[in-house]
Structure 1
Amino acid sequence: MGAALTRDGRPVRVLVVDDEPPLAELLSMALRYEGWEARSVGDGAGAVRAVREWRADAVVLDVMLPDTDGLTVLRRLRGEIPGVPVLFLTARDAVEDRIAGLTAGGDDYVTKPFSLEEVVARLRGLLRRAGAGQVRDVSLLTVGDLVLDEESHEVWRADEEIRLTATEFELLRFLMRNQRRVLSKAQILDRVWSYDFGGQANIVELYISYLRRKIDVGRQPMIHTRRGAGYVLKPGAPGGR
């Protein structure tokens, strides 16, 4: 499915509120992979400030936060943006939290542990219900003169069509959805191959080399190596690989 855009053509903004940094970063990464913008904060006060300054289109909100509870945060968020959709994160056995959250005005909830795909699907549903056309899906990803169509699986650079294998396509899509972000080999393995190659991260290097031959050869390089960190795709970036 393509990226979600608001009526004015910008990517949907989702605020993740959770005091577990690894979980918050994982959720944010999954949302960015969908072509959305994502920010994360670790407490209720930060959530209210972020919503006020950033004007999020939706919020993923943990019920348990270090400075206050999610229900109090919900009321404050709605004071800033009355109609903002809120998806609660709750513990699996906390039935009372789920009931309290929905009663207090939360729009939906998922229980921990959850799948990233479920969170994205729930958010799409909330945005559709909240906006009646507020969000539209598009299938084209564009970075500089590089264009990828997520529906037809076609790729062009400077209007020249580029033929990719299925794995090369998924790798390029991940890089383009996270343009200007350095992605580690572990992140790429997890998202593109969906499992660990038993430490064989050289599979990433191999497919990066395949992509470079098709995307960068004879043109200004877009795929760059950040030694010790990973890879980054940038439009028209100068310098070596």
Structure 2
Amino acid sequence: MHKILVLEDDYKMGSELRQFFTNRDFNCDQVYDGHMFFKQTELTTYDIYILDVNVPGLNGFDVCKRIRQNNKSVPILMLTAYSAVEDKVNALQNGADDYLVKPFHLEELLARVNALLRRSQNSSTEEKKVYQIEDLLINSSEMKVSRGGKEIVLTPKEYRLLELLASAEGRPVSKQTIATKVWDINFETGTNTIEVYVNYLRNKIDKGFDKTLIHTRTGFGYYLK
């Protein structure tokens, strides 16, 4: 299930968008201003962002630009009440992948969201990415991990967990997300499987090194930094 975060200060419009995407098997959250947006992204990892331009605090252009400073790949679609060419150019120059001018048809919005998600998925599949956190290197094309120049042997589950944490770019990854993306199951509070595997990783990634890279944020999840 794809996760969408909508930045929209119009309560009626935001509620309509949430209900529309929920009915189409998306997980959709909404925030009302730019500062709330970044607080929400610290709690959850999203697959796509939909940003209205005219919102309190940081406007949509500023939010888009700030996202792109830290995340080059997440799809961003902007909603604007302006059809002027300069506003469209501004959206694209700040890192948006697409835009829609209000008013718009919800089915067109859905089609554009699905197109961006397909493009993002194809790009991530084809991309040979290397993650680097301090002296830790994760080569996703070869599925190899090393730290301080020394190769670290991981099991497939350990590797998937480590790559998931790396792809979050410093944001906490919840147990629910880990369970879904690493084990393909819904998280059950009675199991400690995730804690066990995080400890496996810590023994292989952090043990013997001066700097700890795998961290816990209580109530939010685990992150690499």
TM-score (norm 1): 0.56
Select which of 136, 145, 166 maps to 1:176: 166
The alpha-carbon deviation at position 190 of structure 1 amounts to: 2.5
Q: Which moved more, 1:195-204 or 1:140-149?
A: 195-204
1:205 aligns with 2:195: yes
Deviations 1:92-136 (A, max 9, x none): xx48x63xxxxxxxxxx64398598526247x59xxxxxxxxxx9
Any conservation in 2 of the 1:51–1:77 contact (CA below 8 Å)? no
* Residue equivalent to 2:25: none
Aligned residues: 182
1:60 aligns with 2:67: no
* Residue equivalent to 2:61: 48
Q: 1:88 to 1:179 in 2, by over 3 A?
A: closer
Structural RMSD (CA): 4.3
TM-score (norm 2): 0.59
The alpha-carbon deviation at position 229 of structure 1 amounts to: 2.9
Residue correspondence of structure 1 range 1-241 to structure 2 within 5 A: 18-19=7-8, 22=29, 29-30=45-46, 42-45=51-54, 46-50=59-63, 60-61=76-77, 69=81, 72=83, 76-79=87-90, 81=92, 86-87=97-98, 94=105, 98=108, 110-111=110-111, 114=114, 117-118=117-118, 120-121=120-121, 124=123, 137-220=127-210, 221-234=212-225
Q: Residue type of the partner of 2:45?
A: M
The percentage of aligned residue pairs carrying the same residue is: 25
Any conservation in 1 of the 2:206–2:214 contact (CA below 8 Å)? yes
Q: Which runs of 5+ in 1 are unaligned?
A: 1-15, 32-37, 99-108, 126-135, 235-241
Q: Distance in 2 between matches of 1:193 and 1:73?
A: 47
Q: Which moved more, 1:188-197 or 1:165-174?
A: 188-197
Q: Residue type of the partner of 1:187?
A: T
Any conservation in 2 of the 1:18–1:41 contact (CA below 8 Å)? yes
